[in-house]
Amino acid sequence: MKYAEKILNTPSSFTRDILKVAGQEDVISFAGGLPNPISFPVEDLQNAINHAIEVHGPKLFQYSATEGYLPLRQYVADKLNKGQEGLDIQPEDILITTGSQQALEMISQVMIDKGDGIVMEEPGYLGAIQAFHLTEPTFHPVTLTDEGLNVAELENMLKNNQNIKFIYTVPNFHNPTGITYTKENRDAIYDVVKNYDVILIEDDPYGDLRWNGEKIPYIGAGRLENSVVLGSFSKIVTPGMRLGYIVTKNKELLNHVITAKQAADLHTNIFSQIVIHEYLAKNDLEAHVSKIIALYESQANAMLEAMAKYFPSSVKFTKPDGGMFIWVTLEEGVSSLDLFYKAMEEKVAFVPGDPFYTSKTNVNTFRLNYTNSSPEVIEEGIKRLGKLLHEVSTT
């Protein structure tokens, strides 16, 4: 059988492949990107399900609108407007998607003809790289620093490549690095991007999970014509219900995405949408999220403390203000993939950096997730990794 080039050229999800190995009982895994299941409000969701069935009956089980359940779109609009001064998001600016992952795939379908350009953070979210691959784009990598995107590189990229259709960013508690774009960096990006006919995507599934510092306004939302914000309930309520959303004031773009969504799945699961809306209407989301934040902060601190204690000083790592990830940079020339195989022998797993890059392989970086282990297990896993790192360290 001859399969389409676009699928043959799309990498299978590296983390999902790794998780198959790392998921064995006796392995300490920092490889996943999963929310901690103890954070799922199971009882409150059970009540929401019962109540939704009582109140809505068969409506829960019927086909529904492609744009999504109106009360849920209204909730999302209110949440966004409350979160940032000067935003005026209306329910019509919102499309409910099957997770924000679907938003990535659909925007790419709508914008990209084979060879068209996408600016990707380097390193960037591997699920976005995978989703975009399906439309056979040209990736234009722009280096991510501790402050955010390298703005000079971004400007050069836009100036020299007329075919760039959109820029993809994760400005808060970035996956995979855990960094947050500074206010200055956001303003500098805005000053460049506003001069070009491109879409700016701000993918923000982690923005609510902040334990340190003040919330920073979006780069483009509220001031850039071609701004798209993506959000998700995966990290603050539950990922299994597959609920995300696209927010944009660009009506033309939203209409094209709606057409793409009709073709893909007609509409997002209406049972999930109504149940989550019932849950949100009856419970205090902020109080729930603050519990998740406290949990993740203690796990992140346990990992950072263990890294300071057990890692050689030549190894650098990020110190996130929220979210789920820490990014480690080894000495120049040390392969994180080689380290991964050695670590698996010691029964500890992480995600080597390679799948997060569109232009490099055999890199010296890797991602650690702290949200799925207790502080004691985190300490033990980091101790094992530290021992290996001392063995490969040249200094």
Q: What track of x and - describes contact with ligand PMP for positions 33 through 52 (by CB under 6 A)?
A: x-------------------
**Which of 149, 170, 219, 343 is the binder for ligand PMP (CB under 6 A)?**
170
- Distance, CA of 260 to CA of 57 (rounded, Å): 29
Provide the CA 180 distance to its chain's centre, in angstroms.
12
**Which of 125, 173, 310, 356 is the binder for ligand PMP (CB under 6 A)?**
125
Cβ 386 to ligand PMP shortest distance, Å: 27
Burial of residue 218 (CB within 10 Å: 0-12, 13-18, 19+) is buried
The partner residues of 118 in beta bridges, in order of sequence, read 139, 166
Count Cα atoms within 13 angstroms, Cβ side, for 94: 27
Q: What track of x and - describes contact with ligand PMP for positions 201 through 240 (by CB under 6 A)?
A: --x-x--------------------------x-x----x-
Total number of residues that touch ligand PMP (CB under 6 A):
14
**Tokens 């004031």 label which residue?**
249
- Distance, CA of 157 to CA of 159 (rounded, Å): 6
355 contributes a contact to ligand PMP by CB under 6 A: no
**318 and 344 in contact (C-beta within 8 Å)?**
no
Q: In terms of Cα–Cα distance, which of 38, 108, 112, 48 is closest to 283?
A: 48
Within positions 286 to 345, which residues make up the interface with ligand PMP, using CB under 6 A? none
Residue with smaller CB distance to ligand PMP, 107 or 389: 107
**Which of 39, 100, 180, 273 is the binder for ligand PMP (CB under 6 A)?**
100
Lookup: tokens for 227 = 């701004």
Cβ 93 to ligand PMP shortest distance, Å: 18
Count Cα atoms within 13 angstroms, Cβ side, for 164: 26
- Distance, CA of 261 to CA of 106 (rounded, Å): 7
132 contributes a contact to ligand PMP by CB under 6 A: no
244 contributes a contact to ligand PMP by CB under 6 A: yes
99 contributes a contact to ligand PMP by CB under 6 A: yes
353 contributes a contact to ligand PMP by CB under 6 A: no
- At residue 14, what is the residue type? F
- Distance, CA of 107 to CA of 96 (rounded, Å): 13
124 contributes a contact to ligand PMP by CB under 6 A: no
Number of residue whose CB is nearest ligand PMP: 99
**Tokens 């699920």 label which residue?**
127
**Which of 29, 64, 101, 180 is the binder for ligand PMP (CB under 6 A)?**
101
Residue with smaller CB distance to ligand PMP, 68 or 239: 239
Lookup: tokens for 97 = 């998607």
175 contributes a contact to ligand PMP by CB under 6 A: yes
Q: In terms of Cα–Cα distance, which of 109, 105, 111 is closest to 125?
A: 105
Span interacting with ligand PMP, options 99-107, 270-278, 296-304, 360-368, rule CB under 6 A: 99-107
The residues binding ligand PMP (CB under 6 A) are: 33, 99-101, 125, 127, 170, 175, 203, 205, 232, 234, 239, 244
